[in-house]
Structure 1
């Protein structure tokens, strides 16, 4: 019997991955020389070289100081930090921010795990985290998919962005690529946790946005519900002062998110719920390969 996660992954493989395969190329081994274990050759020592790489046997044979060069190890450990808070439910039926997050997480797990890289995930519901330990291959993508499609408890507090970022610090012990997928709607200071995460890992932020995030129709009296806390407030949506205040608050939130990520040098990719995921993933993977 085909499960719901497998049906979703099959659809994404057919509709998205087949189109991506012709647009993503390149292996995980590079012509760059780094700190791997595959010896690439010897070259003459220069002042900026690490003395620990000097090959003393070869140096004695040829009479000049030579250092070892290695092919850089291209295998990755990838952690997906997935925001499952209430605000991710915003959007059109069948195309909410949570739906897009689920598809992105499955596709990224499938893409990164195919060459043998290890992929894990941290699912954050706004107050607590569930960890999917790292694994490889298609089976790992399905493991993450099962957790994403599992019903979560209702959390009635605003998302603790600092807690979400800190939740990956314990499972991600070795240096990794950390992809944070969220709308970054939350509360509390989160610059320091992000800076600490970026210091230890390569971090990429995917911000999922929807047209309804800051849009309120001009229909007079309206009950507005906070997607994070469930709190309801009666407002006059036609009041120009109220509408100006809403626009200002949304602009300030967007500026804060962009400013924090720029401050700690974390690349930001914004993905709309109505956007073609192929184009979004081509840009993401190209940028991620460059950083790696």
Structure 2
């Protein structure tokens, strides 16, 4: 992640080691020579959390729900970032983009933001999550280059891939993907009711049927592969958070991976305070 917001300072011809995301295509087309934007760093960075709190996030097969893990992630990162003088804000999706919390700094702001997130009414929707609405709204709200965390299980209606890629052209974007082990593999529990959290539809399924469990696992594996491919194609990094995993351990491993990539010259620089945390 870039450690600060960036201001446009100059334009110059493209050089071999430049970030292709900084190419100014309008100038390039006019001059017929690739040009890149040159930025200067601000002393502060802004981080935005695009938080999906749609019905499918209110699921967990054990003690933790995806929604709870997401809230804990926001709390940890927001406190860490503001402790080092940076600003944090949030856009929240329930049944639509219903909450925008402007980016500010300070402990009081973080507490107010967390209070707002914790005291929201539960999302009740039968039309499915439209994640593209959250991403498009962020493109309109977050004008200055920032670090953007898209916190979601990515269980959504199609159409979110393009706005995610567009967001990644302007910002440092990290997809924070929530999942539960039961979404990947079903145990043998006999005949059980299964409710689609997005639509409310209820079905009875026989989990003692080995063939059914195998088909479920194959479909889930294909969905996982498709999702990872879509996120990679959008040009964003991914942090996987499980309802059964350790949040701090996952964040530290992710920070370490980004630091290794930075040393190889294949990724953005980590903020100094996240270097210290890792």
- Same-fold call, TM cutoff 0.5: yes
Residue 282 of structure 1 is matched in structure 2 by 252
- Once residues 193 and 71 of structure 1 are traced to their aligned partners in structure 2, the CA distance between those partners, rounded to angstroms, is 26
Residue 257 of structure 1 is matched in structure 2 by 227
Q: Does 1:89 align with 2:58?
A: yes
Total equivalences in the alignment: 234
The answer to whether the Cα contact below 8 Å between 2:54 and 2:123 also exists between their aligned partners in 1 is no
Residue 140 of structure 2 is matched in structure 1 by 170
Secondary structure of the residue aligned to 2:51 is strand
C-alpha change, 1:75 and 1:116, in structure 2 (3 Å) is same
Residue 120 of structure 1 is matched in structure 2 by 89
Residue 185 of structure 1 is matched in structure 2 by 155
The answer to whether the Cα contact below 8 Å between 1:83 and 1:126 also exists between their aligned partners in 2 is no
C-alpha change, 1:263 and 1:36, in structure 2 (3 Å) is closer
Residues 45-104 of structure 1 show CA distances to partners (whole Å, capped at 9, x for unaligned) of x997xxxxxxxxxxxxxxxxxxxx997434211110111011112214541111111110
Secondary structure of the residue aligned to 2:142 is coil
- Once residues 126 and 237 of structure 2 are traced to their aligned partners in structure 1, the CA distance between those partners, rounded to angstroms, is 30
- Once residues 276 and 233 of structure 1 are traced to their aligned partners in structure 2, the CA distance between those partners, rounded to angstroms, is 32
- Once residues 272 and 244 of structure 1 are traced to their aligned partners in structure 2, the CA distance between those partners, rounded to angstroms, is 22
* 1:132-281 matched pairs, under 5 angstroms: 132-150=101-119, 151-281=121-251
Secondary structure of the residue aligned to 2:99 is strand
Q: Which runs of 5+ in 1 are unaligned?
A: 1-27, 38-45, 49-68
- TM-score, structure 2 as length reference: 0.75
The answer to whether the Cα contact below 8 Å between 2:185 and 2:213 also exists between their aligned partners in 1 is no
Residues 133-174 of structure 1 show CA distances to partners (whole Å, capped at 9, x for unaligned) of 111011121122112111234122321121222231221011
**How far off is 1:116 after superposition?**
1.7
Residue 98 of structure 1 is matched in structure 2 by 67
Q: Which runs of 5+ in 2 are unaligned?
A: 16-37, 270-278
- TM-score, structure 1 as length reference: 0.71
The answer to whether the Cα contact below 8 Å between 1:80 and 1:178 also exists between their aligned partners in 2 is yes
Bigger CA radius of gyration: 1
RMSD of aligned Cα (Å): 2.8
**How far off is 1:250 after superposition?**
0.8
Secondary structure of the residue aligned to 1:162 is helix
The answer to whether the Cα contact below 8 Å between 1:126 and 1:164 also exists between their aligned partners in 2 is no
**How far off is 1:201 after superposition?**
0.9
